[in-house]
Amino acid sequence: MLTIGSLAKKTGTKVQTIRYYEQIELMPEPGRTEGGQRRYGDAELDRLSFIRHSRQLGFSLDAIRELLDLGDHPNRPCHEADAIARRQLKQVERRIARLEALRTELNRMVHECSGGRTADCRVLEVLRDHSACLTDHDEIGA
Amino acid sequence: MLTIGSLAKKTGTKVQTIRYYEQIELMPEPGRTEGGQRRYGDAELDRLSFIRHSRQLGFSLDAIRELLDLGDHPNRPCHEADAIARRQLKQVERRIARLEALRTELNRMVHECSGGRTADCRVLEVLRDHSACLTDHDEIGA
DNA sequence: AGTTGAACCTCCAGTGGCTAGAGGATGTAT
DNA sequence: ATACATCCTCTAGCCACTGGAGGTTCAACT
């Protein structure tokens, strides 16, 4: 039986985050000691590991909920899980494309900086005047 | 003189966002009509354009505050603005590296999916068992 | 058995960067 | 005069946590 602290350590999660997952019903209510402290077993350890690993791969908590649900039904066809993963992949690819455009633009800004007065700063100039910017970037945080 | 709505349209910002920027003192309090509606001039249009463009390049509002401040002092050396941009560039590069690792892993997951039952689903398996995962991904959202 | 002190508990508030909606006032065109 | 788009303030919500106050419990050590 694991305390919340050791479960946290094993999964690289903060204690508060585990309690938060319980609150939003992503993790089940665990057993308690007489004094009221949470105690966890292997099932919970597995579930939390799954959640954390999915988070590291960028899945939203809602997507994780779906994935967990699919995992609970081993005989159902798996194309749904596949679809969720593909969606995630698409999103990651979109983000990469966007960040690469930003990298290009920031690189240009930084390399054109003469190191003089702020009045002549290319960095500030580019930010001031979008037309001095070669990149097409419309969405924020996409 | 611009209403908040036309300023919003010109800069691709939502009206609420402009009011939010005013609230957090990123935008100044504008003049008002007798009836109490906000009216903006060119200075505000420029400032908001600067903010929005910086946001599109991924700068945080705090970084933007610094950049705006630098822009107000044209005779100071510009290495600070340069440093902020370089920091941002570093961050973007880190994010790209991380997302590329995720892309690799998601690709692997998706391509190994046999399309059978969830019990045999590679997607779920990889998520369940980090050791089946070739990628080194520790930080979330980094 | 008593004492320490780390780890636990609940509850509330805050983060960033907005976004949405209620309920009402204003501005402009006809 | 009237319609109605746009404006106003205020409050609350989004995601995924994170931190802190103030108090309790557990396990180890004497």
Give this complex's ipTM: 0.80
Average pLDDT over residues B109-127: 84
> A95-136 pLDDT, tens per residue?
899 889 889 988 888 888 877 788 888 889 888 887 777 666
Find chain A residues with C-beta within 8 A of B93's C-beta.
Answer: 103
Which residues, at least 6 apart from B48, have a Cβ–Cβ distance to it below 8 Å? B7, B11, B13, B18, B21, B27
> B13-65 pLDDT, tens per residue?
999 999 999 999 999 999 999 999 999 999 999 999 999 999 988 899 999 99
Longest dimension (CA), chain B: 69
Candidate ranges A6-15, B64-73, B95-104, B117-126; pick with highest mean pLDDT: A6-15
CB contact under 8 A, A118 and B67: no
Q: How confident is the model at residue B134, as a pLDDT?
A: 60
| Shortest Cα distance, chain A CAs vs residue B28, angstroms | 17
Query: In Å, how far are A73, B92, B101, B123, B140 from A58, measured between CA atoms?
Result: 23, 17, 11, 14, 7
Is the Cβ atom of A31 within 7 Å of strand C at any atom? Answer: no
CB contact under 8 A, A85 and B123: yes
B42 and A CB contact within 8 Å: no
The set of strand D positions with any atom below 7 Å of a protein CB reads 6-10, 15-20, 24-26
A127 and B CB contact within 8 Å: yes
Q: How confident is the model at residue A10, as a pLDDT?
A: 95
pTM over 0.95: no
> A45-101 pLDDT, tens per residue?
999 999 999 998 889 999 999 999 998 888 888 888 999 999 999 999 998 998 898
More confident residue, A39 or A94: A39
Q: Give the integer Cα–Cα distance in Å for A135 and B4.
A: 27
Report whether pLDDT(B138) > 70: no
Sequence ranges of the domains in chain B: 4-58, 79-132
- The fold of A4-57 is Multidrug-efflux Transporter Regulator; Chain: A; Domain 2 (1.10.1660)
Burial status of residue A122 (CB atoms within 10 A of its CB: 0-12, 13-18, 19 or more): buried
- The fold of B4-58 is Multidrug-efflux Transporter Regulator; Chain: A; Domain 2 (1.10.1660)
Distance B5 CA to C19 C1' (A): 16
Q: Which of residues 46-105 of A touch B (CB under 8 A)?
A: 46, 49-50, 53-58, 67, 70-71, 73-79, 81-82, 84-86, 88-89, 92-93, 95-96, 99-100, 102-103, 105
